[in-house]
Chain A
């Protein structure tokens, strides 16, 4: 081991080597203890799959985008299914519907219904475009998310979305949800059970 002053990267490399050494020396600690099955996941493996973003934004990667940057991405990758203005009903309507939830014809869109912007980011990054899921870069996801929120009147054209600002966005329908209230119907039969 090098004892003198080392650069940050060498120190990190050293730390990584030590961790690997420890893991190799005590493999049993990483497996199911009773059954001796399985192995410890690597950080890379976790990172490759750890794609779901909770409302507080944990796990959002570095990157940024604005609605202005998002528009060309949307036009090229999303409009074919969702329409130029995000109002094509063929698959899912993305824009509009505010104030319709308690009417006869409620329209649930990102703007009128979705409670969290992180949900949108997480979903777009993981599953869109439909036929090439997971193919957008983080910057593109921030940009397209910004554009969709902009179309719904939630952010301005040049508002910057990144790991810090995205979780702070208050979606219009954030408080529109209540817990399960069932059983809410169901009566005893009039005739006694036989």
Chain B
């Protein structure tokens, strides 16, 4: 056998199909892979063309293509790490295109030493890495008045979890020397909208990161490349993407996003604002809306739980619309301010069932029902909907979003 010929054959026949992704989705795999040589090495890998999980992009666009979310396909999720290619995004002016060599971070205001830093400067500073969730405050906002979105991707997909790496904001603030009387930081991005958010100095001096790393490599463009804030446990919007400026000041700046947009209208006509913390929340990702269980038998009910107040302490699962509950197993270790994966074995008898999950966090706070939430907040508060979610399994195995 001519060696050059067999190498060519191997590479041509299979390398192209392995390496080329969806364009070659139609090419079948060999019947017996052990009888043929496989594909070549790739410097930056790709997933198999047989894998099609994708972020959900609203069709048609909510307002314009450059405005709005794309959702993580939680229904296909496993473990707690969200693949970076599937991390949710929300923006209001498109994904900024930034050259990391030209990007700068300006820190100024009520400081002794204002400074401009390059991305390389920031990367040289002492680093911290943590696994944290991010959740958009508007996650689940379609569900206030009735079951609306059909799948868990669309009801809950504005949350993801990654390992973030960066420099503590507290370190930067100590270096520039915060002046007496300062009490807020205003963070701003380099994109078309700026997304200015005012953050209390007390939080800035605890666990906020100026991050450049996502799951081991650079942050993705959708998620803020090359620099972003990570504000653990707080509204996603506060974790400003494409970060370019931090202003130390003595009052909140009342940007549009924080004084008008991220506010919650109560039944009495007043609106809450600066609702920073994401409260404890859980959802079953399988079986969930739009999926189908293939007949009576064994399944693992699984899902995610998280809390902006620290660790999840407990997740309970009900298969009878909340009448009885059982404790689910939590994947170890349970990390603070991160997604926690829970699972419960379930033997389905083929009859209609309504599945729910309910979490408790380390403060003792218990995830409320939608009814309890609406009683206090009405149906126009838009944000911070963290109620128990219900999925109905019909006798034919189809799963639907329901309210009970």
Q: Per the CB under 8 Å rule, do A and B touch in the complex?
A: yes
* Chain A interfacial positions (CB closer than 8 Å to B): 29-35, 37-41, 45-46, 49-56, 90-91, 101-102, 106, 108, 113-116, 118-120, 122-123, 126-127, 130, 133, 176-189, 191, 193-194
- Contact between B270 and A178, CB atoms less than 8 A apart: yes
Known: A55-B254, A126-B193. A176 touches B270 (CB 8 A): yes
Annotate B47-87 by CB proximity to A: 1 below 8 A, 0 otherwise: 00000000000000001101000000000000000000000
Closest to A183 in B: B365
Known: A41-B114, A41-B116, A177-B273. A185 touches B124 (CB 8 A): no
Known: A186-B367, A194-B327. A133 touches B63 (CB 8 A): no
- Contact between A101 and B269, CB atoms less than 8 A apart: yes
A113 to chain B, nearest CB (A): 6
- Contact between A127 and B260, CB atoms less than 8 A apart: no
CA distance A34 to B93 in the complex (A): 37
Of the candidates B175, B254, B276, B314, the one whose C-beta lies within 8 Å of that of A180 is B276
Q: Which residues does chain A contribute within 8 Å of B176, judged by CB atoms? A: 32
Q: Which residues does chain B contribute within 8 Å of A118, judged by CB atoms? A: 254
Range for the number of chain B residues in contact with chain A: 35 or more
Closest to A190 in B: B325
CA distance A53 to B117 in the complex (A): 24
CA distance A29 to B64 in the complex (A): 46
Q: Which residues does chain A contribute within 8 Å of B366, judged by CB atoms? A: 186-189
16 contacts between A and B (CB under 8 A): A32-B117, A39-B116, A49-B244, A51-B194, A101-B271, A114-B256, A115-B254, A177-B270, A178-B266, A178-B271, A179-B274, A180-B276, A183-B279, A185-B372, A188-B364, A193-B314
> B245 an interface residue at 8 Å Cβ cutoff?
yes
A65 to chain B, nearest CB (A): 19
- Contact between B276 and A119, CB atoms less than 8 A apart: no
CA distance A37 to B119 in the complex (A): 11
CA distance A130 to B91 in the complex (A): 13
Q: Which 9 A-B pairs have the closest CB atoms?
A: A102-B269, A101-B269, A38-B115, A185-B368, A123-B256, A32-B175, A180-B275, A37-B121, A38-B117
- Contact between A119 and B259, CB atoms less than 8 A apart: yes
> B142 an interface residue at 8 Å Cβ cutoff?
no
Q: Which residues does chain B contribute within 8 Å of A39, judged by CB atoms? A: 115-116
- Contact between B114 and A40, CB atoms less than 8 A apart: yes
- Contact between B115 and A31, CB atoms less than 8 A apart: yes
Known: A49-B245, A186-B365. A114 touches B259 (CB 8 A): yes
Of the candidates B188, B193, B245, B256, the one whose C-beta lies within 8 Å of that of A133 is B193
CA distance A91 to B380 in the complex (A): 19
CA distance A55 to B254 in the complex (A): 7
- Contact between B186 and A30, CB atoms less than 8 A apart: no
CA distance A53 to B247 in the complex (A): 12
> B201 an interface residue at 8 Å Cβ cutoff?
no
- Contact between B93 and A178, CB atoms less than 8 A apart: no
- Contact between A52 and B196, CB atoms less than 8 A apart: yes
Q: Which residues does chain A contribute within 8 Å of B125, judged by CB atoms? A: 32, 35, 37
- Contact between A176 and B254, CB atoms less than 8 A apart: no
Known: A41-B108, A185-B372. A102 touches B272 (CB 8 A): no
- Contact between B247 and A52, CB atoms less than 8 A apart: yes
Q: Which residues does chain A contribute within 8 Å of B160, judged by CB atoms? A: none
- Contact between A91 and B272, CB atoms less than 8 A apart: no
A184 to chain B, nearest CB (A): 5
- Contact between B377 and A184, CB atoms less than 8 A apart: yes
- Contact between A115 and B259, CB atoms less than 8 A apart: yes
B175 to chain A, nearest CB (A): 4
Q: Which residues does chain B contribute within 8 Å of A106, judged by CB atoms? A: 265, 269, 380
Q: Which residues does chain B contribute within 8 Å of A193, judged by CB atoms? A: 313-314, 360
CA distance A179 to B313 in the complex (A): 28
Of the candidates A40, A54, A126, A185, the one whose C-beta lies within 8 Å of that of B254 is A54
